[in-house]
């Protein structure tokens, strides 16, 4: 008597472990790509900066969130009128935000509320037009800048600790310029605080 062959029970293979392993690999691959893209941007191109203090009022208020453009200063030098972020010369671990007033080789003179710039192009000097100021203060000083030195001041002159008191900022300390203001949202702007080169 013939008997029918016994039916084999199909083997059930769980794919859960395999899927979990592939999911981990995908996550690690994504994380690696993200780090390779984001880290160089964060270190060499742009970085966040939160304004702390009143030295730049009313151009920048404490608590405003900025993105700093570092890339520009790899290809060119800071310009007069730009708002820059730099390492404080007396304590490089601290970062300050100020406006560039004087360039390398120039003589900067303060007399009352007036700033005069003397350089080879203007040996008789010219008065700096500072229409962005709403908080000025009289001061009397004269500083001659060396090679690679910049004179910076805050827009809120009475409340600003700047080159008038602690001297010039070396080029090597310049981190970048204020590129974007992201917060508060009602004051979002591109190149906030930047002005054109003043005419003598």
Q: Could you give the residue numbers annotated as active site?
A: 55, 98
Rg (CA), the chain: 28
Q: If we measure between CA atoms, which residue out of 50, 54, 91 comes closest to residue 68?
A: 50
Residues 50/183, Cβ–Cβ less than 8 Å:
no
> Token pair of 128, please?
């700096």
Residues 171/157, Cβ–Cβ less than 8 Å:
no
Q: How far apart are CA 6 and CA 185, in angstroms?
A: 74
47 DSSP β-pair partners? 68
User: What is the length of the chain?
Assistant: 200
| Number of neighbouring beta carbons within 10 Å of residue 47 | 18
Q: Is 16 helix (H, G, I), strand (E, B) or coil?
A: helix
């Amino acid at each position: 008597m013939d008997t029918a062959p016994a039916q084999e029970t199909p083997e059930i293979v769980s794919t859960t472990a395999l899927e979990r392993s592939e999911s981990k690999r995908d996550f690690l691959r994504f994380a690696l790509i993200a780090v390779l893209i984001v880290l160089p941007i964060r270190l060499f191109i742009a970085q966040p900066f939160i304004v702390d203090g009143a030295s730049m009022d009313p151009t920048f208020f404490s608590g405003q969130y900025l993105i700093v453009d570092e890339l520009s200063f790899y290809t060119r030098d800071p310009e007069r009128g730009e708002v820059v972020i730099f390492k404080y010369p007396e304590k490089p671990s601290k970062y300050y935000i100020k406006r560039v007033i004087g360039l390398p080789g120039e003589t900067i003179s303060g007399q009352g509320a007036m700033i005069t710039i003397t350089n080879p192009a203007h040996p008789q000097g010219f008065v700096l037009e500072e229409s962005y100021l709403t908080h000025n203060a009289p001061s009397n000083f004269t500083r001659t800048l060396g090679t690679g030195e910049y004179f910076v001041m805050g827009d809120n002159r009475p409340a600003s600790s700047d080159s008038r008191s602690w001297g010039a900022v070396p080029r090597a300390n310049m981190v970048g310029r204020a590129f974007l203001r992201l917060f508060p949202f009602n004051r979002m702007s591109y190149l906030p605080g930047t002005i054109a080169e003043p005419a003598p």
